[in-house]
Amino acid sequence: MVVLDVLVSHGRSALGVRPVIVFLDVLMPGVGGVDACRVLRSDSEFDLLPVVLLTTMDFEQGRTTLLASGASDFLQKPLSRETIIWTIDRIDPRR
């Protein structure tokens, strides 16, 4: 299984990619993950795309804010490989 097809270091770079699932860091430089998620959700071509936000916020702190952006889910950093794979298996529409 390929976990990451495309890795971008700047939020604007992610906006030109056509993925099946997206992981966005909340604190990306330029356009952060929350704003990038909102942009994706405002485009009818991507409104059903699974988007997972990565954050250092704890569950209670991040839940309302991050899910209000349209994210499918969020994960607290640091992440394990197993957590990423479990998340992909759970929300990837191709599985």
Q: What is the pLDDT of residues 23-81, one digit of tens each?
A: 888 888 788 889 889 988 898 888 888 999 999 887 777 778 888 889 999 898 898 98
The pLDDT value given to residue 4? 43
Q: How far apart are CA 44 and CA 3, in angstroms?
A: 25
What mean pLDDT is predicted for residues 8-33?
74
Q: How far apart are CA 84 and CA 74, in angstroms?
A: 11
The pLDDT value given to residue 53? 92
Residues 6 or more apart whose CB falls under 8 angstroms from that of 17 comprise 6, 8
pTM for this entry: 0.76
Say if residues 24 and 10 touch (Cβ distance below 8 Å).
no
Q: Are strands 51-55 and 73-76 parallel, antiparallel or unpaired?
A: parallel
Q: Which residue has the higher pLDDT, 26 or 20?
A: 26
Alpha helix positions (H), the chain: 11-14, 33-42, 59-68, 81-91
